[in-house]
Every structure is written in structure tokens, then in C-alpha cells.
Amino acid sequence: MTRELAFTKMHGAGNDFVVLDGVRDELPDIEPLAARLLDRHFGIGGDQLLVVRESRAADFRMEIYNPDGSQVEMCANGIRAFYKYLRDRGHTDADEIGVETLSGVVRPRWAGENRVTVDMGLPVLEPAKIPTTLASGDGPVLDVPLEVDGVPLRVSAVSLGNPHAVIAVDDPDTAPVERLGPLIENHPLFPNRVNVEFIHAVDRSRIRQRTWERGTGETLACGSGACAVAVVSMLRGVVDRQVTVELRGGELRISWERDDAHVMMTGPAAEVFRGSFPVAEE
């Protein structure tokens, strides 16, 4: 016996998501379903699976699943899509809400014209809390020499709800993302694995970025990664405190006014289509 599972396909700057509504619908066990739903050939297709849940700590709770079934602490592109979904479905009409995630409560705010601003909080710069053993002490972790597969790199690290390794390159388009990305993701220097950004600062107001996401692979965009890239580039002194990060799927605007300020991210959120997917009855 099967039943139809309602879903909505969303994206934020090309980072695409399957959204399931656990407030409105009774959902099956999600973890074993994630790979099937996110498969681009035999399923719906998506970078990650977002699940709407009720929350005791905030207005709603967002669960995030990778194609390998693992859960993720936070996804900045995902939370913009999540918030737009809630508004579109009448779950909320508030211009700002709190969303519980594994990394804490995040507050998206409606910015008009299908754009959302997210308060990403303070960047985590202390190595042990990122976590990474690339360095010790209070941080920041900037330009640490590391050789991967015979390639000498300089790696910076920061957490914006999840860990990121940032590597400056001459041209992200020709960077060996598919070769080095998984090796760095699973490097023992990053005990919780890590997202990997290959970046180039075009000028003081613009950065180009490609991302290898842990548990997923290369994606067209990564919002928390764009925030990490901006923070690292600002700490390195190569960009100003407000920058546009150019990703393969679109652009995000990142602001970090001072070292003790919260990182703010503004970007698009859009619905692609709705449908239903057959799942076996338990």
C-alpha cells in the first residue's frame, strides 16, 4: 500500500530544496526517505530536504536533511525558502519570525519582492568551537597552510551555524572543486566534516564563490557559506564590510558592520512547483 506525500519544491539562489509540512501533514520517518526524495533521476531532486515542525523554543522548527540522510545544523538559503513557504501557506503573516534549528534560533525577516534577510548571529572564530584542529587558541583561523592530494593550500575556517573551510583561488571556475572538495570535507582536521568554499575577491565589494557542501556535493549556492566567505575576506582585509557574493545560482548581499556585530544576509527565495510523491504506508 502507498500514499501520496505532498511536497513543495523551493530554491534560494539556485540552492534547491524539497519542503515537507509536518505541521499540516502526518509525515513518515524522514531519514530513510531523504535519499529517494532528493534523487534527481528517480525522485523529486534537490540539494536538501526541509521539514516544517512545531517548536517550543520559537515560532517554528526547521529540520534539514542531506541526501545521505544526515541532518544539518543550519542552512541560510534553506531558511529563506522555509520562511517564504510559511508565508505562502498561511502559517504566518509576520514580517519576522523565530525558527528553531540545530544551531539555535534564527530570525528571518521579510525584505519584500521575494527576498528575505536573515540574522545569522555572531560568527564563530574559535577553532575548538568551529570545530577544527587547524589551529588552537581564540582564533581567527586564517590562511593556515595545508597540503591536500599534493596541492598546497591556505585554509581559513569559521562557523556560521555550521563549519566552513574557505580557500582563496585565482579562478573559482577552474578550481578542482570535485577533486579537493570531498577530501577537505572529510579531512581529520575537521571532526564534524566541513563545507568547503573556493573563492576569489573580484574587488572590495564583490566575491565569487563555489561551494562543496558536506553530505551533498557541489551546490549552486550556499548561504551560510557566503556569510563565512564574507567574514573571512573581511578579516583578511581584502573586502569592505558590505559585499555581494556571486554564486553559480545567484547573488547574496552580506553585511558584517563590526567584529562584535551579527552577520546579516539578504537574498531571494522562490517556489518552483508543488506535487505529491508516492511513499509506502507503514
The predicted-structure confidence for 138-195, as pLDDT tens digits, reads as follows 999 999 999 999 999 999 999 999 999 999 999 999 999 999 999 999 999 999 999 9
Any idea what the Cα angle at residue 56 is, between residues 50 and 60, rounded to 5°?
30
Which of 10, 19, 75, 141 is labelled catalytic? Answer: 75
The predicted-structure confidence for 213-268, as pLDDT tens digits, reads as follows 999 999 999 999 999 999 999 999 999 999 999 999 999 999 999 999 999 999 99
Residue 212 DSSP SS3: strand
Task: Give the orientation angle of helix 76-88 with respect to helix 223-235, to 10 degrees.
Answer: 140
Which of 222, 227, 239, 269 is labelled catalytic? Answer: 222
**The pTM is what?**
0.91
Say how many C-beta atoms besides its own lie within 10 A of residue 35's C-beta.
Answer: 16
pLDDT above 80: residue 282? no
Residue type, 238: V
The span from the CA of 269 to the CA of 78, in Å, is 9
> DSSP secondary-structure letter at 73?
S
- pLDDT bin (cut points 50, 70, 90) of residue 281 is confident
Please state whether 43 falls in left (phi above 0), alpha (psi between -120 and 50) or beta. beta
Q: What is the mean pLDDT of residues 255-282?
A: 94
The span from the CA of 34 to the CA of 46, in Å, is 10
Place of cell 580557500: 167
pLDDT of residue 2: 87
Q: Which residues of 259-279 are buried (b: 16+ CB within 10 A; e: fewer)?
A: eeeebbbbbbbbeeeeeebeb
pLDDT of residue 9: 98
The predicted-structure confidence for 75-97, as pLDDT tens digits, reads as follows 999 999 999 999 999 999 999 99
- Residue 102 cell numbers, joined: 540545530
> Dmax of the chain from CA atoms?
60
DSSP run (H or E) holding 226: helix 223-235
Place of cell 566541513: 194
The predicted-structure confidence for 92-139, as pLDDT tens digits, reads as follows 999 999 999 999 999 999 999 999 999 999 999 999 999 999 999 999
User: What is the rounded average pLDDT for all residues in the chain?
Assistant: 96
The predicted-structure confidence for 30-76, as pLDDT tens digits, reads as follows 998 999 999 999 999 999 999 999 999 999 999 999 998 899 999 99
Place of cell 530513510: 32
Task: Report the percent of the chain where pLDDT is more than 70.
Answer: 100
Q: Is the dihedral of CA 214, 61, 159, 267 positive or negative?
A: positive
Contact in structure between 194 and 160 (CB atoms under 8 Å): no
Rounded to 5 degrees, φ, ψ at 45 are 95, 130
Asked about 227 being catalytic, the answer comes back as: no
- pLDDT bin (cut points 50, 70, 90) of residue 1 is confident
Asked about 75 being catalytic, the answer comes back as: yes
pLDDT of residue 27: 95
pLDDT of residue 44: 97
Task: Report the percent of the chain where pLDDT is more than 90.
Answer: 95
- pLDDT bin (cut points 50, 70, 90) of residue 280 is confident
